[in-house]
Amino acid sequence: MKALMFKTFGGPEVLEYGEITDATIGPEEILVRMKAIGLNFADIYRRKGNYHLAGEPPYILGYEGSGIVEKIGEKVKGINIGDRIAFADVPYANAELVSVPLDKAVPIPDSISFEEAASVLLQGLTAHYLTKDSYPVKKNDVVLIHAAAGGVGQLLVQIVKLLGGKVIGLTSSIEKAEAAKEAGADKVFLYKDDWKREVLEETNSTGVDVAYDSVGSTLQNSFAVTRIGGTVVFYGMAGGDPEPVDPRMLMDTSKTLTGGDLWNVLTSHDERVARSNELFHWMTAGKVRISKPKSFALQDGQEAHRYLESRKSTGKILLKP
């Protein structure tokens, strides 16, 4: 089978497209012929060597995708050859064939395309637990969303609105601000402006109920625009490491800092399927929209990585075998 791989850490130029041994499956696994593969910043970090990688080179990136079941293990029940499935947390997805453990396989309903499934699972499930678990969004909550035009950001905007909240988004450009507004944000401010002042003015100096911060380096500013007794949800470091948080500040302001990691939530097959089905239902009902993804052939992985690193994208990037 063909795969996108690399032997040394570095820039997009280290990626190679070539032939490797076909994936094999165990008794409780299924073999999936990939139709669409999600590209994420985690793939960039792994390619650069910032994240730990198991095994020896050549390494294969990718953890998210969708496809058709081509073979099933002898102990697999409930899934048949020809079924359409997706997954959000299975390694070596940058290949034509992927071995998927049965407990990580999510059936795709007929109303959802391969491209939609590969676009929504990782980022959609992240937005789902952030708004349901990290901080349960309530009707009339005022919510600040960093990077509101990004993949998770646009889904956060839509889910917060679906749950009855008001959204203030932050983006890096006017073009991205338009994308956040199109997703449903009530107000959008730019990082280059005095956004702290603007957010406080928008909330009559009270501050937001919750700030979802995926930038990291902005964490102190997120606290500055969060109301007394409010919450900051820290779930990413796209802009660099955050400064340490003084627990005395948390005590004095009754504010809460909580972290978020998807893998602490997706602990069972039932959790994966139930949360995915709610996402799929929202999509089918038109309550959550996925912007058209930018697709690259798997063999053009270098180009796709460069595009993601340019931060010009406002939606999902897919690789297609």
Q: Is the pLDDT of residue 312 over 80?
A: no
Q: Omega into 109 within 30° of 0, i.e. cis?
A: no
**Rg over CA atoms, the chain:** 20
Bridge partners of residue 320, in order along the sequence: 297
Q: Which of 51-65, 112-126, 200-214 has the lowest mean pLDDT?
A: 51-65
How far is residue 241 from each of residues 11, 17, 221, 255, measured CA to CA in Å? 21, 33, 13, 20
The string of pLDDT tens digits covering residues 123-145 is 999 999 999 999 999 999 999 99
Q: Does the pLDDT value for residue 88 go beyond 90? A: yes
pLDDT (tens digit per residue) in 252-290: 999 999 987 888 888 899 999 999 999 999 999 999 998
Higher pLDDT, 51 or 86: 86
pLDDT value at residue 282: 96
The reported pLDDT for the residue numbered 314 is: 66
Q: What one-character DSSP code corresponds to residue 106?
A: E
Domain residue spans of the chain: 2-120+264-320, 139-259
What pLDDT is recorded for position 316? 87
Domain 139-259 architecture: 3-Layer(aba) Sandwich (3.40)
Average pLDDT, stretch 17-39? 96
pLDDT of 223 reads 98
Q: What is the pLDDT of residue 189?
A: 98
CA distance 212 to 154: 12
Which tokens is 253 given?
Answer: 């302001």
Cβ-proximal residues to 103 (8 Å cutoff; 6+ apart), any chain: 28, 268, 269, 272
CATH 3.30.420.10 fits 2-120+264-320, yes or no: no
In the prediction, which pLDDT does 162 show?
A: 96
Strand partners, 294: 317
Q: Report the predicted TM-score, pTM, of the whole model to 2 decimal places.
A: 0.90
Q: Report pLDDT digits (tens) over 183-198.
A: 999 999 999 999 999 9
Q: Before 58, cis peptide (omega within 30)?
A: yes
Residue-level pLDDT at 192: 96
pLDDT attached to residue 76: 95
Q: At residue 54, does pLDDT exceed 80?
A: no
Q: Given this model, what pLDDT does residue 56 score?
A: 83
Give 213's strand partners: 234
Predicted confidence at residue 241, as pLDDT, reads 86
Q: What is the mean pLDDT of residues 202-215?
A: 97
